[in-house]
Amino acid sequence: MDRIRITGGNPLHGIIPISGAKNAALPLMIASLLTSDTLTLENVPHLADVEGLMRILGNHGVDISVNGRRERQEEGYSRTIHFTCRTIVDTTAPYELVSKMRASFWVIGPLLAREGRARVSLPGGCAIGTRPVDLFLEGLAALGAEIEIDGGYVNATAPKGGLIGNRYRFPKVSVGATHVMMMAATLARGTTVIENAAREPEIVDLANCLNAMGAKISGAGSKTITVEGVTTLSGARHRVLPDRIETGTYAMAVAMTGGDVVLEGTDAALLDNALDILRQTGAEITATGTGLRIVRNGGGIHPVDVVTEPFPGFPTDLQAQFMALMTRASGVSHITETIFENRFMHVQELARLGARISLSGQMARVEGVSRLKGAPVMATDLRASVSLVIAGLAAEGETVVNRVYHLDRGFERLEEKLGRCGAIVQRVSE
């Protein structure tokens, strides 16, 4: 099992290319099930989750070809991938595939919309909370689907003639459920109105792609999305938007270590709230012609309180990274997690590096320390793992991060990107 060895203490200087967003690429790939034509996606990151989803889509009959490289970038970064599903050969998504990645459960929407039936295993994924599928199933039921759970599988059947448009209000904001209901509604008869919808940029990106395929979706990015059903969708060519979580992660790494880095190929509008908070810690952030420039000149890190919220609030996917930054702040900060009930598993690992963090329910009190000291640590989930990398970059001596397969799920060539900016980071294979 691979590990990452970090020798801390070096500021970061250089350019880091930002990859396509994993959280956008996955639903976009799943949308290929909605059409018999070819969907071409540009800027798809090379990640374990993407590779896993390609295997799942192949199981349903999607023909996949990979070629090309991102413009003006070295081979091996984000790719152009063509997805063609002439015929869906299997409407079952088996446990052995779905259990490895939660987002693969989302195939239930397109399968149900196009074939009128789907049998999908209940999902797996990171152990950061229960994240029930109730919201998905209630939304699909509102479109007329009959839902039954049996033997660990969800069996869904559309009424004769297909799904039927309806008005549905989510009791709680859910990005995944919004993705699924929006995809399913594109081929439903009549108009669907989704209320209390997620507003994340990845929702907008999927809507833009679906519209390019012939869907009629309006309101994406607001709390109310309207989908006028169409009989068929065509192919399209679409570029995956930049990864705002990767952008925020590397920005926090620079704020943690000091230095001057340009994050190339990203967009500040994707994470305004997080960048404003990062500025409050003392980092200088400016837009450039190609992305964002992050500078910290060696001054102290200021403590800032944050509360995770659905977009446009502070992202839960940056909570662990921000906590790592606050371990070196000159004072006390408070971090409140409102999205997932079990997303503080990185606390005990940061403590191994010398961090002072106490928990009270869903709030973490972080007392900044003057120094961190390297130690062996264990990654517990995707975002927690990269928070340990950030802490290790600023810690004295050597930090070894174990279970880095979590990192490979969401960060494309992380050690290479950091290494080119002066970090001493090495992947060690056993």
Give, rounded to a whole angstrom, the gap between the first and last alpha carbons of the chain: 6
Q: CA-CA distance, 4 to 362, in Å (whole number)?
A: 29
Asked whether residue 199 is marked as a ligand-binding residue, the answer is no
Asked whether residue 131 is marked as a ligand-binding residue, the answer is yes
- Cβ distance 278 to 263 under 8 Å? no
Asked whether residue 315 is marked as a ligand-binding residue, the answer is no
Asked whether residue 310 is marked as a ligand-binding residue, the answer is no
Asked whether residue 22 is marked as a ligand-binding residue, the answer is yes
Assign 3-class secondary structure to 51-74. Answer: HHHHHHHHHHCCEEEEECCCCCCC
Q: CA-CA distance, 131 to 200, in Å (whole number)?
A: 18
Q: Indicate if 85 belongs to the active site.
A: no
Give which of 94, 44, 83, 29 is closest to 61, Cα–Cα.
83
Asked whether residue 273 is marked as a ligand-binding residue, the answer is no
In three-state secondary structure terms, 9 is: coil
**Distances in Å between the alpha carbon of 224 and those of 127, 192, 227?**
30, 10, 10
- Cβ distance 58 to 66 under 8 Å? no
Asked whether residue 205 is marked as a ligand-binding residue, the answer is no
Asked whether residue 233 is marked as a ligand-binding residue, the answer is no
Instruction: Annotate 62-94 with b (16+ C-beta within 10 A) or e (fewer).
Output: bebeeeeebeeeeeebbbbbbbbbeebeebbbe
Helix or strand holding residue 285 (H, E): strand 284-287
* Active-site entry in 85, 126, 209, 421: 126
Asked whether residue 174 is marked as a ligand-binding residue, the answer is yes
Q: How many residues does the chain have?
A: 430
Asked whether residue 132 is marked as a ligand-binding residue, the answer is yes
**β-strands 12-17, 236-239 pairing:** unpaired
Asked whether residue 317 is marked as a ligand-binding residue, the answer is yes
Asked whether residue 366 is marked as a ligand-binding residue, the answer is no
| Feature table: binding site | 22-23, 102, 131-135, 172-175, 317, 339
* Residue positions forming the annotated binding site for phosphoenolpyruvate: 22-23
Q: Which residues are catalytic?
A: 126
